[in-house]
Amino acid sequence: MASRAEDHLQCPTCLEIFKDPVMLPCSHNFCRACVQQWWEHKGDRTCPVYRTEFRSIGLPMNLALKNMCEAFSQASVESDDICSLHKEKLKLFCVDHQELVCLICRDAKIHAGHKFCPFIEVHEDHKDKLQDGLQDAKKRLKDYIETRDNCNEQATYIKIQKLLDKPKLLSGAPLDEVKHVGNLKFSVWERMKEMVSYSPVILDPNTADPDLSLSEDLTSVSHQKEHQRPNNPERIYNDEWLNPNSPA
């Protein structure tokens, strides 16, 4: 029952019991500091829940809600601070059982040999951890709200932007097969003609005079006496070359 009542007394922004609660024209209640922080962050005066925008607005205190929150907090402190068995204040914390105990519980048999520490020390340690966790949760909530608002703005923008015209196909995109593939043999032959030279006369190195030297392509000849060739039967010797003074 207490948890249900606490849900109705929590601020939707900080998720804590209302502190200095104020009511907006849309009937939603928030902590005064939470509303002011929201307005400073957004730059306009809107409801943090439904984003309803208000042109001119004050922050009137919800006195009835404030009184309910203070009464609930006081009742929670009083009920949580009393031992249910001995009706004594819970001043110690049992480290072994991880629970609050009173002075009578400390001397009970169930806590014999256990380690105790003052309640205020445990309260401060847990308070610091809770504050750290709360700050992290607030940051995550802030990031979530910013991401959600950006997505909503993008969705609105997409609905009213002009659609692009139908794309047109450009000429010349496919491969020009006629140019590159058509009459391929002739094209290769034309390229080969540029690299190969044609000579109608081919010299035979096996029948040339021993003093003649032929080029590598057998199309030209030069006179070199130092060049030696084998005396094979095909080679023709001219006596006039060998003995110019002999009679014809």
Question: Each residue of 118-148: pLDDT tens digit?
Answer: 777 776 777 777 778 878 888 888 888 888 8
**Strand pairing partners for 113?**
none
Whether 243 has a pLDDT exceeding 70, the answer reads no
User: Has domain 1-80 been given CATH number 3.30.40.10?
Assistant: yes
**Strand pairing partners for 111?**
none
Sign (positive or negative) of CA dihedral 17, 86, 105, 88 = positive
Considering only CA atoms, give the Rg of the chain. Answer: 53
- Thinking of the domain 82-150, which architecture would CATH place it in? 2-Layer Sandwich (3.30)
CB 70, CB 58: distance < 8 Å = no
To the question of pTM greater than 0.85 for the whole model, the response is: no
Q: List where CATH 3.30.160.60 sits in the chain.
A: 82-150
* 27-41, 53-67, 127-141, 153-167: the lowest-pLDDT one: 153-167
Q: List where CATH 3.30.40.10 sits in the chain.
A: 1-80
User: What length is written for the chain?
Assistant: 248
